[in-house]
Structure 1
Amino acid sequence: MKKYRWQLLIIFLTGIVVGILLLSEKPAPVSVDSPEDIVPVQGGVYTEALIGSFQRLNPLLSTYNDADRAINNLLFSALIKFDDRGLPVGDLAESWGISQDGRFYNFTIRSNSNWHDGAPVTSNDVVFTIELLRAGGMTVPTDLQQFWNDVEVAALDEKNLQFELPEPFSPFLDYLTFKVLPSHLLSGLSYGQILDDDFNLRPIGSGPYYFSKLVVEDDWIAGVELKLNPNYYGSNAFIETLVFLYYPDLASAWQAYQDGIVKGISGLGNGEILEQALQDENLAIYSSRLPQFTTIFLNLESIDAPFLADLAVRRALLMGLNRTKMVNEVFNGQAVVTDSPILPGTWSYYKVADTYEFRPDDAIEMLRSEGYTLVEREDDGKTLRQKDGTFMTLTLLFPDTDAYEQLASMIQENWQALGLEVNLEPVDYDQLVNERLAQRSYQAALLNINLAQTPDPDPYPFWNQVQATTGQNYSQWSNRMASEYLEKARVINDFAERVRLYHNFQVVFNQELPSLILFYPIHN
């Protein structure tokens, strides 16, 4: 099943999560006899600032609105959710089973799952939501529409349903994290009609919180109030009331925090405001690793930079990068250096023994030993490394943003210290991805890969050789062994075998370095 499941995004914080608090007061000390004496109780009000503006409280329509999506995640439920290690656990689904051939998935919905208006959540609600995903529209990614058009789904009875896949596809559970909509309230409406329906202003969901009211100021929707759902099928939260207030930018949200209007901010970024927050001893800042990584794609088939096909060169280029300095200076230390395209801490991650720490002297020696010597170029007198008459010169593309420009300049400095000539070319992000990368019209490209919408680790689209010419394998890496690992891992249901295959893939990736993985950013 050929699917391009990952989205490439600019380095922006997108994983807004309730509970990332900046506490303005330190708690007073309390004497207790033992930890068991501390029992949390329900109640209280928590007010959080969201960066963005209100549009619609409907998960079908909030794909590209981080602020609304953060609220929708509390109002609505999905069949499946994923734990901290990336393993699937039931949300609305009480249980599920997979046929031996991997093509049929049977699900049972929790008997005690209900909508906030008291109606039961049924298999028809799931089928109805999938029909809306198929119908698409500008808020549903095209590849997701295509995916569901290839999958058959049938309601067996009120609480049981079955999915039929055209072929085995192990990451299928990854696609069941969409939020389910109530068919008893929206059936009969087209996608276009739903866009303007009052449901988007007074939503009915099945999640841990229910919609209470809109916060309106001067005829403008300034926020949303949620209340704890007493009939929630899962474990209840402790905060009784959640109030989300919208702010146009981080600066105004930070000011609202300083003025005591909000108790928390959804994200602090990596700039000046984070620095202010870190210097305030009264603040409690919570961090989590974002499901995305920054990388440098290398075009291994580049005619203008043929030396990129040389494994020794790729290893030297990575060893020549001071990634720790980049993290500290560009992101205020808010990123984690890594060498793997699979997220650390997840079930499929494998820490390979060979790591590429910053060792510029070793990188230079590696280039020397491979015959890349320093020679003065006749036309301009520059001293550059060359081999067989070909000078080591390349152009690094990067999205036209301040953060990327700073990062690209540091990469340029590091590689020029090895004896390369590095030209920098800022490009509009859409043009970079949809034209330069898609057409393989580049030598090296710096960008971010966002994995937030795909908890399953399947990295097939970016590294399988089938994708080398027309897919998302932008490096045009053609390694049969790595491709076989990825192909097998996405069609088998044996969890232990999938783990082994992804571990093996990471070993090969680490040896071949088709792309230079830099680091994973952190959300504060």
Structure 2
Amino acid sequence: MNNIAAQIKANIPAVPRPRGVKLPAWAQRINEHLTTTERVLLAWLVVLLIISGILTVVGLVERNTRLIAEDGGTYSEAAVGQPRFINPVLAGTNDIDLDISRLVYSSLFKYDNELALQNDLATGYEISEDGKTYTVTVRSDVAWHDGESLTAEDVVFTIRSIQTPEYGSPLATDFSGVVVESPDNSTVVFTLEEPYAPFLSSLTVGIMPQHVWEDIAPANAALAEQTLRPVGSGPYQFAELKTRRKTGEVTEFVLARNEGYYGSHQYLDGISFTFFPTHEDALKAFAAGEVDGFGFLPLQLRDRADRSSAQVHRLLLPQYFGLFFNQENNPLLADSGIRNALSLAIDREAIVDEALKGEGESLHIPIPPGVFAFNEELGEPTVNIEAAIQNLEDAGWHDNDQDGVREKDDVRLHIKITTTDWPEYVRTVEMVQQQWLEIGVETEIEHYGPGTIQQTIIGPRDFEVLLFGEILRAEPDPYPFWHSKQVEAPGLNFSKFANKDVDKLLEDARTTTDQEARREKYKEFQGIILDLKPAIILYRPYYLFIATDKVRGIDANHAALAAGRFNNIEEWHVNVKRVWQSK
């Protein structure tokens, strides 16, 4: 024991005692009676007591305080592509334009994170009994970023600009035949030719300042300097535009907090967008810590978002993907027995798990959950291979030559599926091919780039089965997708579905001002689609975006568009402080 003590003593460095400092008498007496081993153990005990005390104090502080957001800091986001028109009249087809416009401009109404319509510039509205006149009152305390007052005249100017053909606004059809007037500075009156129940959703378009744009010819609007140096009334305002000297490409778009914003207080001092040519380049910048977020994370890159502080956020949009049957191009699909068999063989959960890597939710009707009038009473069909096979047997389709594919009257049960060349959609149709082969259906696959498929396949309806997605309004109007008048382009009735009952339900639902009656009509419509199967709805993919964990307050759930991830931008923050909780 003494030898061990001697070794311990020899390995403990002497701690010099400051000159003039003496231990108290009682401590000296204790020290004299302790062995070296006991002194070491005592020293460790004191250290442990100090650590325990510190942890106790820390725990006490954490239990009795809370973190709250604090002003300051910025958020930088990577984006792929280039900004073109930061102008709500023109920003309908470019996600970057929509993202920035969402932060710069205000609208009469806006959606919250549950797709509930809220007042923004509007303080209220009234709808006439015939559903044709909407009277909206406008806030009187709103200023443009340049200090000028926003009035109802700016709203009128914006809508009339959208209606002006020379602007070429992609929103023109939303306001076709609408008369807009302002009887005073705080009132706007919209008069429709026919009642249109989802009209308020059209009023989520950003409002632009008349005094900035009125002297610019509509035909020249796309070339105006103001398209990239916008003046709005939203929570953030234009601060700086950085470009490459030789090419003129925009490298960064910087926004600063609008100190005069009429809405909720914003914590971030500023927001910037940095632009990259590819998603891979954008992800590399995020991984290297050059930006705080990435506005759209493609599914195939999800597993490469390996920055330790990365938080993947999932946004639910009012959209769905499905297999649309063109019975004219393949008469076999006109057989309801075959369509039922094809549906019974589909394992949606397996497709979501593998093709979407779990980043989505299975769906079987053309209005998704969280969207007005979703019919939760229509349960998802279960996979039933035996029933699918029986359907085909009953219809006279048999595999007589035992090659795995059924025939009838020397005709093979062959179907061709067309889709885009995005990896998750190609994998989806590959899985459908495998599942249909289990019941003896031979499937051929072809895929094209997004531009090609729109022009050569979807427009002329040159397909047998099309895997594609449809994006609804937050306030759904299935009319463009399922009414018989929409079977030809630019209509979006891909299946060329024609059903008098559905036509009547869709016509009545979009014109009634009775929300409950409208809900019931849409529920009945969904039941008919599920029953007749002009298409097999498969799933709703998540919209993925990422940000570091230093960016707090993000509350992305449902949104009408991808830009809706900024719905609660006022609550985003990077700085925090700890305050005592009141008892």
Q: Would the TM-score normalized by the shorter structure come out above 0.5?
A: yes
**How far is 1:163 from its partner?**
0.9
Q: Which deviates more, 181-190 or 406-415?
A: 406-415
Cross-structure match for 1:159: 186
C-alpha distance in 1 between matches for 2:97 and 2:59: 37
Pick the aligned partner of 1:41 from 49, 55, 70.
70
**How far is 1:93 from its partner?**
1.3
| Aligned AA (1:494) | D
Q: Which deviates more, 363-372 or 116-125?
A: 363-372
Specify whether residues 350 and 84 from structure 1 end up closer, same or farther in structure 2 by C-alpha distance, changes over 3 A only: farther
State the SS of the aligned residue for 2:498: coil
Cross-structure match for 2:532: 512
Deviations 1:142-185 (A, max 9, x none): xx324434111111111111111111111211221221110011
**How far is 1:387 from its partner?**
4.5
| Aligned AA (1:232) | Y
Specify whether residues 60 and 495 from structure 1 end up closer, same or farther in structure 2 by C-alpha distance, changes over 3 A only: same
C-alpha distance in 2 between matches for 1:233 and 1:511: 49
Pick the aligned partner of 1:257 from 280, 283, 286.
286
CA contact (8 A) 1:46 1:243 kept: yes
Pick the aligned partner of 1:485 from 491, 494, 505.
505
Cross-structure match for 1:11: none
Q: Which deviates more, 236-245 or 392-401?
A: 392-401
**How far is 1:292 from its partner?**
2.3
| Aligned AA (2:470) | I
C-alpha distance in 1 between matches for 2:149 and 2:364: 47
**After superposition, where does 1:493-508 map in structure 2 within 5 Å?**
493-508=513-528
| Aligned AA (1:59) | P
Q: Which deviates more, 319-328 or 41-50?
A: 319-328
Specify whether residues 146 and 486 from structure 1 end up closer, same or farther in structure 2 by C-alpha distance, changes over 3 A only: closer
State the SS of the aligned residue for 1:374: coil
**How far is 1:403 from its partner?**
4.0
Pick the aligned partner of 1:475 from 490, 495, 506.
495
Pick the aligned partner of 1:456 from 475, 489, 500.
475
Cross-structure match for 1:87: 116
**How far is 1:64 from its partner?**
2.7
Specify whether residues 175 and 477 from structure 1 end up closer, same or farther in structure 2 by C-alpha distance, changes over 3 A only: same
**How far is 1:323 from its partner?**
2.9
Cross-structure match for 2:563: none
Cross-structure match for 2:128: 99
| Aligned AA (2:438) | A
Cross-structure match for 1:424: 445
Q: Which deviates more, 210-219 or 390-399?
A: 210-219
| Aligned AA (1:276) | R
CA contact (8 A) 2:461 2:494 kept: yes
- Determine if the alignment matches structure 1 residue 274 to structure 2 residue 274: no
Deviations 1:241-275 (A, max 9, x none): 2122112222222221222211111122111x311
C-alpha distance in 1 between matches for 2:461 and 2:273: 43
Q: Which deviates more, 382-391 or 417-426?
A: 382-391
Cross-structure match for 2:354: 329
Deviations 1:19-65 (A, max 9, x none): xxxxxxxxx99944468x44322222111111222334323333232
C-alpha distance in 2 between matches for 1:62 and 1:30: 52
State the SS of the aligned residue for 2:157: helix
Specify whether residues 420 and 458 from structure 1 end up closer, same or farther in structure 2 by C-alpha distance, changes over 3 A only: same
Cross-structure match for 2:264: 235
CA contact (8 A) 1:299 1:476 kept: yes
C-alpha distance in 2 between matches for 1:275 and 1:34: 38
C-alpha distance in 2 between matches for 1:288 and 1:384: 41
List alignment gaps of at least 5 residues for structure 2.
1-57, 545-583
C-alpha distance in 2 between matches for 1:355 and 1:333: 18
C-alpha distance in 2 between matches for 1:368 and 1:30: 72
So what's the TM-score if we normalise by structure 1?
0.85
- Determine if the alignment matches structure 1 residue 116 to structure 2 residue 137: no
Deviations 1:191-219 (A, max 9, x none): 23222222223211010111122245656
Backbone CA RMSD of aligned residues: 2.6
Specify whether residues 105 and 446 from structure 1 end up closer, same or farther in structure 2 by C-alpha distance, changes over 3 A only: same
C-alpha distance in 1 between matches for 2:449 and 2:243: 37
CA contact (8 A) 2:195 2:511 kept: yes
C-alpha distance in 1 between matches for 2:99 and 2:59: 33
**After superposition, where does 1:314-393 map in structure 2 within 5 Å?**
314-376=339-401, 382=403, 384-387=405-408, 390-393=411-414
**How far is 1:109 from its partner?**
0.8
C-alpha distance in 2 between matches for 1:202 and 1:466: 41
C-alpha distance in 2 between matches for 1:449 and 1:147: 18
| Aligned AA (1:520) | R
Cross-structure match for 2:550: none
State the SS of the aligned residue for 1:86: coil
Specify whether residues 306 and 352 from structure 1 end up closer, same or farther in structure 2 by C-alpha distance, changes over 3 A only: farther
C-alpha distance in 1 between matches for 2:487 and 2:221: 39
C-alpha distance in 2 between matches for 1:100 and 1:29: 61
C-alpha distance in 1 between matches for 2:336 and 2:400: 22
**How far is 1:372 from its partner?**
2.7
Cross-structure match for 2:433: 412
**How far is 1:77 from its partner?**
1.1
C-alpha distance in 1 between matches for 2:223 and 2:204: 24
C-alpha distance in 2 between matches for 1:50 and 1:137: 30
State the SS of the aligned residue for 2:290: coil
CA contact (8 A) 2:137 2:186 kept: yes
C-alpha distance in 2 between matches for 1:450 and 1:487: 19
**How far is 1:138 from its partner?**
7.6
- Determine if the alignment matches structure 1 residue 69 to structure 2 residue 98: yes
CA contact (8 A) 1:59 1:179 kept: yes
C-alpha distance in 2 between matches for 1:439 and 1:186: 39
C-alpha distance in 2 between matches for 1:29 and 1:56: 52
State the SS of the aligned residue for 2:311: coil
Specify whether residues 173 and 387 from structure 1 end up closer, same or farther in structure 2 by C-alpha distance, changes over 3 A only: farther
Specify whether residues 371 and 354 from structure 1 end up closer, same or farther in structure 2 by C-alpha distance, changes over 3 A only: farther
CA contact (8 A) 1:94 1:108 kept: yes
Cross-structure match for 2:573: none
**After superposition, where does 1:132-143 map in structure 2 within 5 Å?**
132-136=161-165, 140-141=169-170
**How far is 1:400 from its partner?**
4.2
C-alpha distance in 2 between matches for 1:316 and 1:461: 28
Cross-structure match for 2:326: 299
Identity percentage of aligned residues: 30
